[in-house]
Amino acid sequence: MDFSFKERYNVYDLVQVVKKLRAPDGCPWDKIQTHETLRKDLIEEVYEAVEAIDEKSREHLREELGDVLLQVVFHCVLETEQGSFDLDDVADEVCKKMIFRHPHVFGNVNAETPEEVLKNWDQIKMQSKSQSLASEAMDSVSKALPALMRSEKLWKKAERGGLPAKSSEEAFEDVQRRLGELREAMGEQNREAYSKKVGELLFSVVGMSRTMDTDCERSLYDACDDFTRQFRSLEAYAAEKGIEIQKLNPEEVSKLWDDISTH
């Protein structure tokens, strides 16, 4: 398959690059890829783009968005080979979807606030998917999402479907109740029951975070960074004292950890 080199390429050149890679004289690795083998790569590239956003690095974001775009194009080329759809079909469908779901921009529907826009969006989305019940909209929430993100979406759809929104105090009491149930399950030495109660506790924590207008996924993300920084400080503190953490007993490590936490 012929390929033309250029000073500057566009998205359709990327399609040709992937087709060249998939051609008989192309790359042995690219030629054997399928939607299934690329599934993990697509997820990883999206997360790396999110990381670039968090870093506030335009250069890194540009690079990572390119990797995401490569994944999109690759999947489109796989379908083009089967005569199913191509990149233009994907663009056509998403354009029509955006126009249809923004009647306040492309039509004569009024929506003056972001809240009104979201309300209209949900109603239009349910209509387009022939959904009449909130539970049907909940079923449409992707199970491939990280569990915290999926939980937050389910809470949101349930509340829009009529589930009374709890106050922060009520939500906190629910978390406390779930925590008590977890403690009881721990005493039963029943791993299945224990796992179930852990899930219920985490789900209730997500519900509580919504009452505080907090993004639970982001909160845990930041907590992971804080924990990593604190552990790095622990290692540095131990190194200054000539201590090998791995050789300490749990009580000694806990004391070091407390020392770091108070500094």
Q: What pLDDT sits at residue 171?
A: 93
Q: Are 45 and 54 in contact (CB under 8 A)?
A: no
Distant-in-sequence, close-in-space partners of 166: CB < 8 Å, separation ≥ 6 = 174, 207, 211
Q: Looking at the predicted structure, is the pLDDT value of residue 132 above 70?
A: no
Q: Is the whole model's pTM more than 0.75, yes or no?
A: no
Q: What is the pLDDT of residues 24-72, one digit of tens each?
A: 999 999 999 999 999 999 999 999 999 999 999 999 999 999 999 999 9
From 144, 139, 142, select the one nearest 126 (Cα to Cα): 139
Lowest mean pLDDT segment, chosen from 87-91, 96-100, 124-128? 124-128
Own/partner contacts of 92-100, CB < 8 Å, gap of 24 or more, are: 97/128, 100/124, 100/128
Give pLDDT, residue 138: 82
Beta strands in 96-252 (DSSP E): none
Q: Are 230 and 258 in contact (CB under 8 A)?
A: no
Kindly report, residue by residue over 225-243, the tens digit of the pLDDT: 999 999 999 888 888 888 8
Query: What letter does residue 263 receive in the DSSP assignment?
Result: -
Whole-angstrom Cα distance, residue 210 to residue 219? 12
In the predicted model, what is the mean pLDDT of residues 137-165?
85
The answer to whether the beta carbons of residues 136 and 122 sit under 8 Å apart is no
Whether the CB-CB separation of 50 and 67 falls below 8 Å is answered with no
Alpha-carbon Rg of the chain, whole angstroms? 25
CA-to-CA distance for 260 and 229, rounded, in angstroms? Answer: 11
Indicate whether 248 pLDDT > 90: no
pLDDT of 119 reads 77
Mean predicted confidence (pLDDT) in 110-137: 76
Q: Both ends of the chain: CA-CA distance in Å?
A: 64
Q: Which of 158 and 88 is assigned the larger pLDDT?
A: 88
pLDDT at 86 over 90: yes
pLDDT at 19 over 80: yes
- Is 122 in contact with 137 (CB distance < 8 Å)? yes
Tokens read off for 172: 């906190």
* Number of other CB atoms surrounding residue 124 within 10 Å: 16
| pLDDT for res 263 | 62
pLDDT at 130: 66
